[in-house]
Chains A and B, each alone.
Chain A
Amino acid sequence: MSSADWEEVKRLAADFQRAQLTSASQRLTERNCIEIVNRLIELKLLDVVYTSDGKEYITPQQLVKEIQDELYVHGGRLSLVTLASNLNVSLSVVEARVADLLKQDRRIHNVLGQLITATFIDTMCEDLNEKLVQDGMVSLSELSKTSDLPGEFLQDQIEKRLGKVIHGKVDRDDPNLIYTETFVRRNTARIRGILSAITKPTPINQILLKFGSNVPEKLFFGIVDKLITTKRIEGIVSGGGSSRSAYYIPSAHTKAQVQWIEGFMNGNGYVDLDAAARLGISDPKSFITKRFPNQHLLFLKTCVLGERLFKQAKEQVEESLSSPGWVDITSILPASVTEQDLQILMDEILAGVKNTTVFDSIVVNKSLLEELKKQFKPLMPDKAAKDISSGKYIQLVNDTRAAEKKLKLAELGEDSTRSGGKKDDRRKKAASGKAGGGTQGRETKTKATKKKYLAGKKDDWSDSEDDNPPPSITLSNSASSKASSRAAPTANKNKVQQQLEFQSVNEVRYAIAKNESLSEAPLELLESIAQIISVGLQDEYQVVLKEAFDKFMSEKCGRKSQEEVLEKLFKMTTMFQLYVEGLNSFEGDVKNQLEKFLLKSFGQEIVIAATTFLLMEAGLDENSQVGDLPEGKVKQSMLALGKSADIETFTGLLQTVVPPVKKSAKSTFNPRNILLESRDSLMKELGVAETSDPALFLHIASLILFSLTSEALLQASGKFVPQIISSLSGKLTKEEHAQMKECQEQVVSLIKLKNGPGAEEAKEHLTTTILPSIKNIITNRTK
């Protein structure tokens, strides 16, 4: 057993005693401590704060120090919440302390509940600078996103450090962008290159795409503006400041456009708007107007005509209108001018030119048309005469009448179910007939038939086309039909042809084609002219036809025009005077009897003729009577005329009724001529009666002999024959008178036989022997 061990035990025992004897630290219980501290705080002797678990107290100074330490440990950025939990104190305490701290230390910032030291920002800015150097551009908004700091604060802080830590500059327009000079210069160079290379308008969008998202729009526009203002590149940016709609238009392009427009205008005298649009001119009209401010330009739909070409065209048109009488405008104009434009252009050109008719693109002088029409006029009467004599016209008139009657009947019998349109049509027709027709129904008919004629003509046209289609006509069908439709807007094919055609359109066309001035005209023009002319010709022809027909009818049916009636009246009055003279050869009872017979027979004829004349003159129709005449002397005389008992009153009244004969016409109504005329007619009758009726022959022969001997006329019936023959006794030779006497006896005996036995022989004897002898007397006398 070593003493050392015991020594050690002793020492341990001593240690133990010592350990037991050292006074125990007079510890207070937690409860006590808390009470004491509370008391102290109450007494304001101690300024401490609790930790959040309540187990510790901490002095504000310590807290501030700890905050600073924490901040440092966390690299200069620490949120208050983290700080509070790290320091084990409540957030409000920390906030209060931080507020103090911020007052003391300006290098610390409280941003959105985070403490940030200047060191932290410095570090961040250094990073930023590195990035800037690398990328050339930094967006603060991006930075704000990654660093989770508000943009304004960042901006503020970074601005302070610009030029010191960060070597770049802030974009003027967008303070969120920071970029370096190098970056700007590099991009300026690239943009300059691109824009210089562009030769046609290019959307900015596309250019920006080339840069990807590296160059912000604003910077791009800024650079472009600068380049343009410094004239480094030539062009303009149009279409607003946004990249969506903006275009860069290089001036090279504009120059090219201008050159082209000017070149084309100078070379050709016009500019095609389509072509201009193809060059990229969005509003060619205003563009061209600006380019040629001094010229009077004519804007059409598809092109713009220069002054020179317009004038040239106008001159040419005027010239052509005077010399060949027609011109095709298309031949003067550029090929690209459309039909619509032609219309506009022609309106413009023809503004000062009169007397023209326009067919599509061809202008024809009206005088030429007239001239062509004239060509046909001489042909009309012949054709009319032919048509009438062949009975076609009468047939047509009758047909028309029948058709109209039918139509009227149909109209009357029609109920209201008929479609309104047709009715309207008919009403219009009726109305127009009334309006233009005047007193006579015929006018109405011709009016109505005019349309029908056109319809028929059209049918004809197509027919002839079917029968014998000339190739060129088929080609130009549209043109010709256009012309015809212009002339006749409505064409009713169902109507019966109610007008006689003068010449078919084809015929007219061939006829006019022979005209010198139209020798070079295209077929279409000929057709169009033919269409137009033939309508006029047809109308004219109808007039001619009607005149001819009227004349024909008056000749045939005694229908008389007023003048004819008057003429006849004059003739009759003259004859009447001759008759009156003839009466003077008789005396006494015979004279009276003859007078009465004259008044009854020829006198009544004159009365009728005079009445007709007066009615015509008064404008009344055939069916009206003398009573319808306007009141006055004439009417009274007329009424008295019919009742007059003796020759004197009759002639007296007749003078008031019949107007005096015009001097120029007097020779026509010379009594001598009338005498010869009426004798001739008697002679003709004599020839007829010679073989058939011996009594009539004797009657006429006596009348002729009377007129031959007394130079007057006699109106007498058969019963006066013996008296006449006896009165002739003094004037004829004895032989002649005896022959007449014998003839008279023979005739009387013949009449007495009354077709009994021997009558035939007696008649045979009379006609073969006696009558020729009397005829001889007359012929001798006539010579």
Chain B
Amino acid sequence: MVDEATRKSLSGIPLLKTKAGPKDDPKLWLQRLKEEYTALIKYVENNKAAGNDWFRLESNKEGTRWFGKCWHVQDMLKYEFDVEFDIPVTYPVTAPELALPELDGKTAKMYRGGKICLTDHFKPLWAKNVPKFGIAHAMALGLGPWLAVEIPEMIEKGAVVYKEGEDKK
């Protein structure tokens, strides 16, 4: 189930129209890519406006591989992790698999290679919303809730330790 805050942030993200992956007609992909960016920009702006900025993302030139950082603030401390993922060939029918490589092996809710286990709801929801959902939605529906649930748990277990100076980055 998607919580209230997620739903709200989701509703702020513009929906996409073009159904095209990197292997499809480059014209269409380009179009898709533009829409992805616009949605992301809007999402980030929304987050910033709500004082809720929690990630940085950038992509390669073709827009097929994405990487960046995401963070979680707890007890006035900021825990920051690298995030990366590729656009699958069947995109947008298949959702991208978001991965936090440095947390690989530290939690059960993760696949090999640091790919996070998304909730049961995510996939049907995504499937239902093809091609309207894009990267921004995946971040908001997938990674956001996962971080909010898993990180405090891991901090409690001591699997994740606050690294001095990360703030300055």
Q: Which residues of A contact B (CB under 8 A)?
A: 1, 5-6, 8-9, 12-13, 15-17, 19-20, 22, 24-27, 29
Contact = CB atoms under 8 A, between A and B. Distances in A.
Contact of A12 (B41, B56, B57): B41
Nearest to A5: B30
B3 to A, nearest CB: 18
A26 B49 CA distance: 10
Given A9-B33, A15-B37, A24 B58 contact: no
The B interface, classified by DSSP as helix, strand, loop or mixed, is helix
A15 B41 contact: yes
B101 to A, nearest CB: 21
B8 interface: no
Interface string B17-47: 0000000001100100110011011001101
Contact of A24 (B26, B33, B40, B51): B51
A12 B34 contact: yes
29 contacts: A1-B26, A1-B30, A5-B30, A5-B34, A6-B30, A9-B30, A9-B33, A9-B37, A12-B33, A12-B34, A12-B37, A12-B41, A13-B37, A13-B58, A15-B37, A16-B37, A16-B40, A19-B41, A19-B45, A20-B44, A20-B53, A24-B47, A24-B48, A24-B53, A25-B49, A25-B51, A26-B51, A27-B50, A27-B51
A572 to B, nearest CB: 174
Contacts, number: 50
A12 B47 CA distance: 18
A1 B27 contact: yes
B88 interface: no
Interface in B143-158: none
Contacts of B40: 16
Contacts of B57: 16, 20
- Which residue among B27, B48, B58, B59 has the maximum number of chain A CB atoms within 10 Å of its CB? B48
- Which residue among A8, A12, A26, A27 has the maximum number of chain B CB atoms within 10 Å of its CB? A12
Given A8-B34, A24-B53, 11 more contacts: A9-B30, A9-B34, A9-B37, A12-B33, A12-B37, A15-B37, A16-B57, A16-B58, A20-B44, A20-B53, A25-B51
A99 B22 CA distance: 71
- Which residue among B26, B44, B45, B50 has the maximum number of chain A CB atoms within 10 Å of its CB? B44
A574 B58 CA distance: 205
A114 to B, nearest CB: 43
A83 to B, nearest CB: 34
Given A20-B56, A24-B51, A25-B51, A9 B44 contact: no
Q: What 9 A-B pairs come out closest when comparing CB atoms? A: A27-B51, A12-B37, A24-B53, A24-B48, A19-B44, A5-B30, A19-B41, A16-B41, A1-B26
A24 B44 CA distance: 10
B73 to A, nearest CB: 12
A741 B59 CA distance: 231
A25 B49 CA distance: 7
Given A9-B37, A25-B49, A16 B44 contact: yes
A52 to B, nearest CB: 26
B63 interface: yes
A712 B40 CA distance: 206
A27 B52 CA distance: 9
Contacts of A5: 27, 30, 34
Given A17-B58, A20-B57, A24-B53, A9 B41 contact: no
Interface string B47-86: 1111101001111000100000000000000000000000
Contacts of A25: 48-49, 51
A12 B51 contact: no
A22 B56 CA distance: 11
B109 to A, nearest CB: 26
B67 to A, nearest CB: 13
Contacts of A20: 44, 53, 56-57
